Amino acid sequence: MPVHYDISPSLNLVLYICTETVSTVKFFETGDRVTLDPRLLPNTNVIIDFYLAELEISVADLRFAIEKMKETKQRGQEVRTAVLTKSTSLKFLGDALKLMSTESPFDFSICNTEKDAIHWLNLSEEETFQFWTETRKCALKQHPSEIEAYPYIMR
């Protein structure tokens, strides 16, 4: 499965681990499951770990993402999101998304390290590292060697 998630109510955090090639539709299908998860709290922070993933996206996918963001706003939710990636093109995509949807409830940052993502969201470093490590191991249990691909191995 290219998109795995877990929720930590104590951290008020949804963590997505993406692997392989991820389409916008697949990502938002998982996001729809998250909205039904009873552990989800209002205004939960989000980390999207795209470090090992490739994003498959088209202009239609951008429009789809903007519509999904509008739905979130209509539900009265505000979302702070940190995206971990090694891709500079994902940074440019994020900038384009911000320009195309000025009414977005999403406040996001593209980060190159786990530490940057955690600090940007003002989360507890130790607890978040622990939760992230456990979630990543679960998501990559069929491919444990991929964990070594991360240059910023968590303690």
Question: Using CA atoms, how far apart are residues 27 and 4, in angstroms rounded to an integer?
Answer: 9
Assigned domain for 105 exists: yes
Kindly state the average pLDDT of the residues 19-24: 84
Assigned domain for 140 exists: yes
Assigned domain for 21 exists: yes
Q: Examine the pLDDT at 137 and tell me if it is beyond 80.
A: yes
The CATH number of the domain where 134 resides is what? 3.30.750.24
Assigned domain for 118 exists: yes
Q: What confidence tier does 125 reach under pLDDT thresholds 50, 70, 90?
A: very high
129 or 147: whose pLDDT is higher? 129
- Give the domain extent around 143: 3-149
Residue type, 9: P
pLDDT, tens only, 66-114: 777 777 667 766 778 898 988 777 776 766 666 666 655 567 788 888 9
pLDDT, tens only, 22-59: 888 888 899 889 989 999 988 899 999 988 888 787 76
Assigned domain for 154 exists: no
Q: Which residue has the tokens 């209002």?
A: 42
Give residue 21's pLDDT. Answer: 86
Assigned domain for 15 exists: yes
Secondary structure of the chain as H, E, C letters: CCEEEEEECCCCEEEEEEEEEEEHHHHHHHHHHHHHCCCCCCCCEEEEEEEEEEEECCHHHHHHHHHHHHHHHHCCCCEEEEEECCCHHHHHHHHHHHHHCCCCCEEEEEECCHHHHHHHCCCCHHHHHHHHHHHHHHHCCCCHHHHHHCCCCCC
- Specify the number of domains making up the chain: 1
Assigned domain for 80 exists: yes
Assigned domain for 155 exists: no
